[in-house]
Every structure is written in C-alpha cells, then in structure tokens.
Amino acid sequence: MFIGHYGPAFGAKAALRRVPLWVYFIAVQWLDVIWSSLVLLGIEKVRIVPGFTEGSALDLYFMPYTHGLIGALILSALFGGIIAIFFRAQRTAVFFVVAAAVFSHWILDLVVHMPDLWIWGDLKVGFGLWRWLWISLPLELLSLFLGAWFYARYVPARGRGNLWLWLFVAAMAGVELYGVFGPTPASPQAEAQTALMAYGALAFLAGLTDLSRAKPAL
C-alpha cells in the first residue's frame, strides 16, 4: 500500500482542520519514512523479488522496529506528541488525531501485506491482499478517493481549489499505477531512496493544496 495511505491523511484534515495537510501526509507515511531510513542504514531488511506478489515485488522479511505492532504504536505516539507540542489549543485532540493518522498506516498494511507485520515472538500477520492485484489496487484507489472526497466536502475551497485538489489526486493515482506496472526497483537502497523523495514531494504538494482552502477558524 502506497497511495492508499493518503486517504486517511485527507480524512484526518477534514476531522481536524487545525493541523496542516502536509503534516498529515508525513504522518500517514511516518512508519515508512523511518523504515526507509533503517533500510539505508542496513538495520531493517527487504528483498526485491519480481513476482513476489501481484501488487508488490518487496519481500519485507525483517522490519520489526517500524512495522511491528509495538514499534508502530510507539512511533505513532512519538509523532503525535511532537506535533502536539506546536499547538496550544486542542493539543490533546491534535495528539490523538495525528497519532491515529500514523497508526492508520499499520492498519492498511495489515490488509494488503503478506504476513510480515511482527506481533510477538515468531508471530507475524498480514491478510495478503497484494496477492490479488484486482482486489488490492481498487482498494488502494478507493481509500485515496474516499479520503479526498471528505477533504473536498468538509474543508472549504477558495476559488478553483477543488480543481487543483482533484488534479493532485489524479496525479497521485497515476504515481500508484506507475509503481504497480512500472519497472521493478533496482535494489532495496534504491527503493528506500525513491520512497523518501516521493514522501517529501507529496507532502510539499499537499502544502500547496492546503493553500487553496479557506483558513480554519482559530
């Protein structure tokens, strides 16, 4: 799951407008931001196996710190706490909504990943919908478009803000299609580097998207 993670980011912004959309965009990929960094450092491991599943060539066989249940909960609370520090009003709400946005990543990964999400001991879980692209890809796009719909519905636009929003969403869907049907990553390090650049670029574009919306009442 990649683009589908951004559905909860849009939804979280609709629920609590005080937090910028770009923060939510980082939040929903925070586990993978740390994962990419740990892959580059050689701490967490991944193999590139063409045809591993229909939806992904990544064999994510060792990532207990970022995608284990305990690690995901800790990273969710950590990021939520860091963001909450910068808000005086509704600080508790900011913490819980941002932390929930982070943890949504683990929940969505549970649905599509093979059993590679560590729980305890030798127990790993994952429903494995990546095995069937005709299920996982529509599910991912549905998550994105549903979240964007809530954003469009509950975060009022200025001028042609909704046009920019849906162009952005369409471009994100295109990125997902390229990722699924495009070339296989050359190496784990290349995959990690590409992921980090993509997270940064999408967060920047999310910030521009927020500029097209009316400012929330403080």
pLDDT tens track for 53-96: 999 999 999 999 999 999 999 999 999 999 999 999 999 999 99
Helical (H) or strand (E) element with 6? helix 6-15
β-partners of residue 157 are 213
Q: Return the residue matching tokens 């919306």.
A: 213
Q: Residue 109 and residue 35: Cα distance in Å, rounded?
A: 13
Q: Is the pLDDT of residue 108 over 60?
A: yes
Compute the CA torsion angle 202, 208, 209, 214 (nearest 10 deg).
Answer: 150
How sure is the predictor about 1, in pLDDT bands with cuts at 50, 70 and 90? low
3-class DSSP assignment, residue 86: coil
Secondary structure class of 21 (helix, strand, coil): helix
Task: Find out whether 73 and 103 touch, Cβ atoms under 8 Å.
Answer: yes
Joined together, the tokens standing for residue 65 give 């710190």
Q: What is the mean predicted confidence (pLDDT) over 147-162?
A: 92
- Across the chain, mean pLDDT equals 95
Q: Mean pLDDT check: name the lowest of 2-16, 127-141, 148-162, 197-211.
A: 148-162
CA distance 163 to 103: 30
| C-alpha distances in Å from residue 218, one per residue of 4, 19, 164 | 30, 11, 25
